[in-house]
Amino acid sequence: MKQSLITLIYITFFHLIGVAQPDDLTKMMEEEMGASNEPDYASATFKTTRLVNGHTNEQVAPGVLDFRIGHRFGAFNTGIYNFFGLDQASMRMAFEYGINDWLMIGAGRSTYQKTYDGFVKAKIIRQQKGKRNIPISINYLGAMAVKTLKFSNPENTNFYTSNFFYTHQLIIARKFSESFSFQVLPTLVHRNLVEKITDEHDIYSIGVGGRMKLSKRTCVNVEYFYQINKPRDVINSLAIAFDIETGGHVFQLAFTNAAAMIEHAFITQTTGRWDKGDIIGGFNLSRVFTLKDPRKKGTKNEDAPSK
């Protein structure tokens, strides 16, 4: 009786092991496959949220404040009297903030036409591989600007809303390698007021831009905006810049034919020509601060990079 009981226990024990092993093996395989299928998102497609004048698909990380200063001098062909443009200057100062993983906001003020601007930028699709292979990232940019220059003819009936501009843009970007990234930006700019009744309020354009990494902390950027229904006497905007990353901030040395640094202005109001020496030098400076760490409660003042 005792031997029969022991034999029964052994049979039951080994039977349970035999049943459990396949289940455990299946579970281990599922866990391993699940880990490998986790989305591998492309990161650092571009250095910052701007390529030169225009936006990139990069967004400020949640809880991070990005303080930006853009500075443009005069054109080189203004001669020695203006010290080749250095006697002239315009600037834009702005703050950008990451709300969450997919949404950021920003606001700025430019000396160009004394303009105030604000925008929202949202992630729609992120480039990734793994369980889902998505070859591109897509972001939406919605911006509004108002110039506060005094009306040239105050005697006329002038409406404050005439000074408003609106921009809608898709940012379609791809990181091809650690060294090269490229983006396409279909854009619509709406102008509330135009000079002539025959002028169009809506201007359509296609922007293209790329980044080539030169070293771990430097790269060259190029962007160009082609206007499909170009306004009279307006030239397509072309900009070339060099990024230098130094710790908590990125310094960019820029050369362009556009004096403005806001979408509606550098897309629809650029009049300088590269072939005639209307080349404007300047720089962009970005400094980020972590105001709120989403991983911890409370706030802190440590520097943090944008994503």
- Give the start-to-end residue ranges of the domains of the chain: 40-290
For residue 99, give the DSSP letter: -
How would you class 11 by CB atoms within 10 Å of its CB: exposed for 0-12, middle for 13-18, buried for 19 or more?
exposed
Dihedral sign of CA atoms 19, 21, 22, 23 in order: positive
The span from the CA of 102 to the CA of 98, in Å, is 8
Which of the four pLDDT bands, split at 50, 70 and 90, describes residue 108?
very high
Backbone φ and ψ of 246, nearest 5°? -135, 90
Closest CA to 181 of 144, 148, 136: 136
Closest CA to 202 of 223, 188, 216: 188
pLDDT score of 64 more than 80: yes
Which of the four pLDDT bands, split at 50, 70 and 90, describes residue 294?
low
Which of helix, strand or coil describes residue 81? helix
Buried b (16+ CB within 10 A) or exposed e, 216-235: eeebebbbbbebeebbeeeb
What does the pLDDT average to over 194-199? Answer: 82
221 touches 208 (CB < 8 A): no
Query: What tokens does 4 get?
Result: 């029969």
DSSP assignments along 228-258, one per residue? TTPPTT---EEEEEEEEEETTEEEEEEEES-
pLDDT score of 297 more than 50: yes
The span from the CA of 267 to the CA of 190, in Å, is 11
Q: Which long-range contacts does 294-297 make (Cβ < 8 Å, 24+ apart)?
A: 294/62, 294/63
Which of the four pLDDT bands, split at 50, 70 and 90, describes residue 159?
confident
Instruction: Give the pLDDT score at 37.
Output: 66
Q: Which residues are bridge partners to 128 per DSSP? A: 41, 134
Q: Which of 11-25, 111-125, 241-255, 282-296 has the lowest mean pLDDT?
A: 11-25
Instruction: Give the pLDDT score at 29.
Output: 47
Which H/E stretch holds residue 199? none
The span from the CA of 211 to the CA of 233, in Å, is 30
The span from the CA of 38 to the CA of 40, in Å, is 6
What does the pLDDT average to over 162-189? Answer: 96
213 touches 219 (CB < 8 A): yes
CA angle 7, 11, 12 (to 5 degrees): 115
Instruction: Give the pLDDT score at 194.
Output: 83
Instruction: Give the pLDDT score at 22.
Output: 44
Which of the four pLDDT bands, split at 50, 70 and 90, describes residue 195?
confident
Top-tier CATH class for 40-290: mainly beta
How would you class 289 by CB atoms within 10 Å of its CB: exposed for 0-12, middle for 13-18, buried for 19 or more?
middle
What does the pLDDT average to over 47-67? Answer: 95
What does the pLDDT average to over 56-74? Answer: 94
Instruction: Give the pLDDT score at 155.
Output: 67
pLDDT score of 76 more than 90: no
pLDDT score of 302 more than 50: no
Mean of the per-residue pLDDT values for the chain?
Answer: 84
Which of the four pLDDT bands, split at 50, 70 and 90, describes residue 5?
very low
Residue with tokens 């020695």: 80
The span from the CA of 43 to the CA of 56, in Å, is 12
Instruction: Give the pLDDT score at 167.
Output: 98
Which of the four pLDDT bands, split at 50, 70 and 90, describes residue 25?
very low
The span from the CA of 307 to the CA of 303, in Å, is 13
What does the pLDDT average to over 26-44? Answer: 64
